[in-house]
A and B are shown apart, each in its own frame.
Chain A
Amino acid sequence: MISISHLRKAYGDTVAVDDVSLEVAAGEVMGILGPNGAGKTTTVECVAGLRVPDSGTVRVAGLDPRTDRPELTRVLGVQLQESRLQPKITVAEAMRLWSALYADPVPWAGLVERLGLEDQAGSRFRDLSGGQQQRLSIALALVGRPRVVILDELSTGLDPRARREVWQVVRDLRADGVTVLLVTHAMEEAQQLCDRIAIIDHGRVRALDTPDGLISEASAATVTSFTAEEPVDLESLRALASVSSVRTDAGRVVVEGRDGAALEVLERLARQQVTPHGLRVVDGTLDTAYLQLTDTREETPA
């Protein structure tokens, strides 16, 4: 549904996007993660037709964002980062205006309700909180029944409750078969919502996999933690091949390692006659995977 091939975009001497290729299947929720200045926003702006790539090609539903703008705007909904509306326009007026721009708009009252803005229908844009402005912006991106949606910094500035509501909206989009390109900083958000995640750094795709795939690739796929009354020989745990790090954290011993590290740790503890208490074995988080991929980029083939 979205096809990006060898995209490159520089602003003067600064290369924002070096070489990004990405295929997003129809109905897929693709997350784009990466540090600030990694080229995430420039990439999606090229997809939205707001910027002209220096080289490479972009296709959205077979359309070229540069030359097929009228057709593109009918299939693509865009929520931009830091985009504001007319200061004195009300929520209802904005929704009504945007509805009139599309041939078959979603009934906007329902959309406003799903985003928790029904009490603000008569409020002017400048009087809305940052989170409310953000939710209105999302509603506007969806009102035209897009087949593809770009959401840039979806939940920035939202309180936890509003964030859940917005996440549900993305899940509903997915259930409806809409293709979503989700730019985010929030690992939890990416992990919860995305079918696949592309980690972008320095204008290149560093990794592209499912959230689980990214986590299990990382050296901290599982985290084993416990307390013990007996002294624990941490060095002997560190010596295990599957273990990547051992530390004590508020009295608990925390061992990070690859899949299967937990069993080896327990075996080693039994040999040391140590009885672990409050034992917990959990999946590693995307955070660790992300930090590894964006830190050690020289070792990661693009």
Chain B
Amino acid sequence: MISKKVTLVNAQGFHMRPADDFVKAVKKYSCKVTMTHNGKPVNLMNKMFIIASAIKCGQEVELTCDGPDEEAAMAELAGMIEAGFGE
């Protein structure tokens, strides 16, 4: 199991498109992915739950990946957030 803290850098935070892309990326991997924000778990089943968590620019989330492809999953998911979802 690996975990990493990452900070949101895009001005609009986790809005519709980033949340959608993120959920799709999570589903590509077989490992169990969890994310916490302010100590609370964020439901990664659907982008709407992520949006409802109101995670803003400058705030930190903790990602955890647990399973055979955890390294690859962490690299892609943390990378997406760190790159500001390309915004």
Same assembly: no
Q: Which residues of A contact B (CB under 8 A)?
A: none
Q: Which residues of B contact A (CB under 8 A)?
A: none
